[in-house]
């Protein structure tokens, strides 16, 4: 029988047994510790997995770019890159024919060549649509493989292409908004909202394109601006390109003329010159200047398209678009004052836009008297169309300068007072007179009932040697509507329009003939979108309120009828 009394252990063995007990206790304890630690870590593992799930669900690669009405202008969609492993392709000719049949835009020879290469990876189509992917995948064709990617798609094609810019194959922003907001678009889900209205953008683009085709012109640009808050509703440059096929676009097409080109604007600058003259108090509306003969600034001759019959007052100089008169006005104002106003209107520095493609104005840093006199009629200070638009918007907007805005944000509009309200109100009347007066050059911009007021410009284009091209014009018009209470401003520029004698029975390619009618069409089409209705019954009353006593419709200073 076993009994504890009979079982006596030696002290050495007791020690040994205790040690074993301790070792087994440590072993069992560690096993339990391991088990409990596992149990405790489960909830955390679950949480981290859920977080990952959310991330996956929201993963888009690059945020959208949308217009002011939330229409998508740029979006990332799943797509596939189609590639071939030519060694696996059993029948290259048949496979090429099959792929060509499915993708007619891919040349058959190109496909044959690609599939015959002795490589293991040959890219066939960078972005393959899901539909094509499915068809090829289902066909079971050998040697054709797919890599899933996120493709940047611009569903509106060439709409606002110069603003949007583009991305590289690796999804890096290369130009336009895509480049400026590259980090934000990559790191956040929040879309970038543009101030652009797709419908207005389309109307602007199509009307400019139509006129360029009609006059066989080289290029054009246009801006639609909200005068009250500086929001750019449309910004167009022609020729344009489909952003989805950026690689195929030429340099001429990619060039953003609305922000990146610097033009000697010509007579549209006379609006700014007149506003400066009146606002500075150096010149009065009734002051008369001798516009009956050419003017000489050193060796440079200032001439007019048509001499006026007698010395003309400031209003007559503007509506007759007299270079001589404008230069004389600028001389009276003085170069320093004029330059100060140009600085305030931000015409002497780059426009503050979220684009890389923004030009620096071109002018003589030492602003001399001759510079100021030529600038009065739009030569010697080359600016971009968007700069001209925001400067003129300031004239009509009670004299407040507002920086043009391309992005919708909640920031308050910053206004900078440049002209007095009195000057602004007077300039509205003068701008309207350019459109309604028999001598005015802007008659063709008059969209009935919408009270367009503005100024035409016909400048000689500069050639590659820096000289002026006699028969190559930059025809432009900048105007606001309704001018009795200006809300929106439109700028249109057409480069090098050709005379259309057969179609029009005249050879003129001036701003009044080429750009003004475009503005009329744009106003008619965008006004309903902007909720501006034409005035019919109160028309005479408003027209009367915009009349300038100093101007008589019966008194004409020329016989020309442009």
| Active site (catalytic) residues | 267
Q: Does 157 bind another protein (CB under 8 A)?
A: yes
Letters for 340-379 (x = contact with another protein by CB under 8 A, - = none) are ----------------------------------------
Q: Which of residues 14-33 bind another protein (CB under 8 A)?
A: 17, 21, 24, 28, 31-32
Q: State which of residues 299, 411, 536, 554 lies at the interface with another protein (CB under 8 A).
A: 536
Contacts 24+ apart (CB under 8 A), 184-191: 184/63, 185/62, 185/63, 185/65, 186/61, 186/62, 186/63, 188/63, 189/58, 189/60, 189/63, 190/63, 191/63, 191/64, 191/65, 191/66
Q: Does 76 bind another protein (CB under 8 A)?
A: yes
Cβ nearer to another protein, comparing 8 with 536: 536
Residue pair 177/406 in contact (Cβ under 8 Å)? The answer is: yes
Segment contacting another protein by CB under 8 A, of 175-183, 198-206, 283-291, 343-351: 198-206
Determine how many CB atoms are found less than 10 A away from the CB of residue 403: 14
Q: Does 206 bind another protein (CB under 8 A)?
A: yes
Q: Which of residues 449-488 bind another protein (CB under 8 A)?
A: 449
Cβ nearer to another protein, comparing 71 with 292: 71
363: β partners: 381
Segment contacting another protein by CB under 8 A, of 330-338, 435-443, 445-453, 470-478: 445-453
Q: State which of residues 141, 153, 356, 408 lies at the interface with another protein (CB under 8 A).
A: 153
Q: Does 78 bind another protein (CB under 8 A)?
A: yes
Count CA atoms within 13 Å of residue 75 on its CB side: 12
Cβ nearer to another protein, comparing 17 with 174: 17
How far apart, in whole angstroms, are the C-alpha atoms of residue 9 and residue 332?
A: 126
How far apart, in whole angstroms, are the C-alpha atoms of residue 189 and residue 114?
A: 38
Count CA atoms within 13 Å of residue 361 on its CB side: 26
Segment contacting another protein by CB under 8 A, of 48-56, 100-108, 330-338, 365-373: 48-56
Residue pair 510/456 in contact (Cβ under 8 Å)? The answer is: yes
Residue 470 token pair: 């006699």
561 CB-near residues (< 8 Å, 6+ apart): none
The 10 Å CB-count burial string (b at 16+, else e) for 534-545 is ebeeeeeebeee
Cβ nearer to another protein, comparing 152 with 455: 152
Q: Does 533 bind another protein (CB under 8 A)?
A: yes
Closest contact distance (angstroms) between CB of 164 and another protein is 13
Cβ nearer to another protein, comparing 447 with 492: 447
Q: Does 444 bind another protein (CB under 8 A)?
A: no
Residue pair 197/486 in contact (Cβ under 8 Å)? The answer is: no
- # residues contacting another protein (CB under 8 A): 47
Q: CA torsion 439→440→444→447, rounded to 10°?
A: -120
Q: Does 311 bind another protein (CB under 8 A)?
A: no
Residue pair 220/509 in contact (Cβ under 8 Å)? The answer is: no
Closest contact distance (angstroms) between CB of 53 and another protein is 5
Cβ nearer to another protein, comparing 244 with 476: 244
Letters for 98-137 (x = contact with another protein by CB under 8 A, - = none) are --------------------------------x-------
Q: Does 190 bind another protein (CB under 8 A)?
A: no
Determine how many CB atoms are found less than 10 A away from the CB of residue 274: 28
Please return the burial class of 369, using the count of CB atoms within 10 Å of its CB with bins 0-12, 13-18 and 19+: middle
Segment contacting another protein by CB under 8 A, of 180-188, 433-441, 477-485, 529-537: 529-537
Cβ nearer to another protein, comparing 69 with 553: 69
Segment contacting another protein by CB under 8 A, of 38-46, 215-223, 331-339, 353-361: 38-46
Q: State which of residues 41, 155, 336, 471 lies at the interface with another protein (CB under 8 A).
A: 155
Query: Which residue in 278, 403, 384, 295 sits closest to 341, CA to CA?
Result: 278
Q: Does 515 bind another protein (CB under 8 A)?
A: no
Q: Does 49 bind another protein (CB under 8 A)?
A: yes
Residue pair 165/181 in contact (Cβ under 8 Å)? The answer is: no
Q: Does 156 bind another protein (CB under 8 A)?
A: yes
479 CB-near residues (< 8 Å, 6+ apart): 431, 435, 442, 445, 452, 453, 454, 455, 489, 490, 519
Segment contacting another protein by CB under 8 A, of 371-379, 465-473, 533-541, 544-552: 533-541
Cβ nearer to another protein, comparing 235 with 272: 235
Q: State which of residues 9, 22, 33, 53 lies at the interface with another protein (CB under 8 A).
A: 53
Closest contact distance (angstroms) between CB of 203 and another protein is 8
Residue pair 351/259 in contact (Cβ under 8 Å)? The answer is: yes
3-state secondary structure of 232: strand
Q: Does 50 bind another protein (CB under 8 A)?
A: yes
Residue pair 522/448 in contact (Cβ under 8 Å)? The answer is: no
Closest contact distance (angstroms) between CB of 29 and another protein is 10
Q: In whole angstroms, what separates CA 120 from the centre of its chain?
A: 43
Q: Which residues are near another protein by CB under 8 A? A: 17, 21, 24, 28, 31-32, 35, 38-39, 42, 45-46, 49-50, 53, 56-57, 59-60, 71-72, 75-78, 130, 153, 155-157, 159, 198-199, 201-203, 206, 447-449, 524-525, 528, 533-534, 536-537
């Amino acid at each position: 029988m076993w009994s504890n009394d009979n079982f006596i252990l030696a002290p050495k063995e007791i020690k040994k047994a205790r040690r074993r007990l301790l070792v087994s206790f440590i072993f069992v304890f560690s096993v339990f510790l391991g088990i409990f630690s596992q149990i405790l870590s489960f909830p955390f593992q679950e949480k981290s997995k859920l977080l990952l799930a959310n991330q996956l669900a929201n993963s888009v690669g690059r945020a959208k770019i949308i217009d002011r009405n939330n229409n998508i202008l740029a979006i990332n969609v799943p797509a596939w890159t189609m590639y071939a492993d030519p060694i696996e392709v059993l029948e290259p000719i048949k496979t090429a024919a099959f792929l060509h049949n499915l993708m007619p835009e891919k040349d058959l020879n190109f496909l044959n060549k690609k599939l015959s290469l002795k490589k293991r990876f040959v890219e066939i189509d960078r972005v393959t649509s899901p539909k094509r992917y499915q068809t090829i995948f289902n066909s079971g064709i050998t040697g054709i493989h797919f890599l899933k990617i996120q493709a940047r798609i611009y569903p509106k094609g060439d709409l606002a292409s110069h603003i949007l810019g583009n991305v590289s194959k690796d999804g890096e922003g290369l130009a336009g908004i895509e480049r400026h907001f590259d980090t934000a678009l990559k790191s956040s889900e929040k879309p970038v909202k543009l101030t652009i209205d797709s419908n207005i953008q389309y109307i602007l683009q199509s009307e400019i394109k139509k006129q360029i085709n009609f006059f066989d012109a080289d290029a054009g640009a246009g801006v639609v601006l909200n005068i009250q808050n500086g929001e750019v509703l449309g910004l167009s440059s022609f020729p344009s390109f489909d952003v989805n096929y950026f690689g195929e676009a030429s340099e001429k097409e990619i060039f953003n003329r609305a922000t990146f080109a610097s033009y000697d604007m010509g007579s549209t600058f006379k609006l700014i010159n007149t506003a400066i003259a009146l606002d500075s108090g150096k010149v009065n509306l009734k002051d008369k200047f001798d516009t009956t003969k050419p003017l000489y600034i050193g060796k440079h001759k200032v001439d007019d398209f048509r001499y006026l019959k007698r010395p003309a007052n400031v209003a007559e100089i503007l509506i007759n678009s007299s270079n001589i008169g404008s230069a004389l006005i600028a001389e009276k104002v003085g170069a320093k004052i004029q330059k100060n106003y140009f600085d305030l209107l931000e015409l002497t520095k780059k426009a503050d836009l979220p684009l890389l493609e923004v030009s620096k104005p071109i002018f003589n840093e030492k602003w001399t008297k001759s510079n100021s006199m030529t600038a009065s009629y739009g030569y010697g200070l080359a600016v971009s169309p968007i700069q001209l638009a925001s400067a003129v918007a300031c004239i009509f907007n009670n004299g407040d300068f507002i920086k043009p805005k391309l992005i919708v944000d909640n920031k308050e509009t910053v206004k900078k007072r440049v002209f007095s309200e009195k000057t602004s109100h007077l300039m509205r009347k003068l701008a309207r007179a350019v459109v309604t007066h028999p001598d005015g050059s802007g008659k063709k911009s008059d969209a009935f009932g919408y009270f367009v007021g503005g100024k035409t410009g016909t400048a000689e284009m500069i050639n590659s040697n820096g000289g002026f091209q006699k028969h190559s014009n930059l025809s432009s018009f900048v105007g606001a509507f309704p001018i009795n209470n200006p809300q929106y401003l439109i700028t249109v520029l057409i480069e090098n329009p050709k005379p259309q004698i057969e179609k029009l029975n005249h050879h003129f390619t001036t701003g009044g003939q080429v750009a003004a009618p475009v503005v009329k069409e744009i106003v008619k089409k965008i006004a309903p979108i902007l909720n501006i209705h034409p005035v019919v019954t109160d028309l005479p009353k408003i027209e009367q309120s915009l009349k300038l006593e100093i101007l008589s419709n019966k008194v004409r200073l020329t016989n020309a009828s442009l």
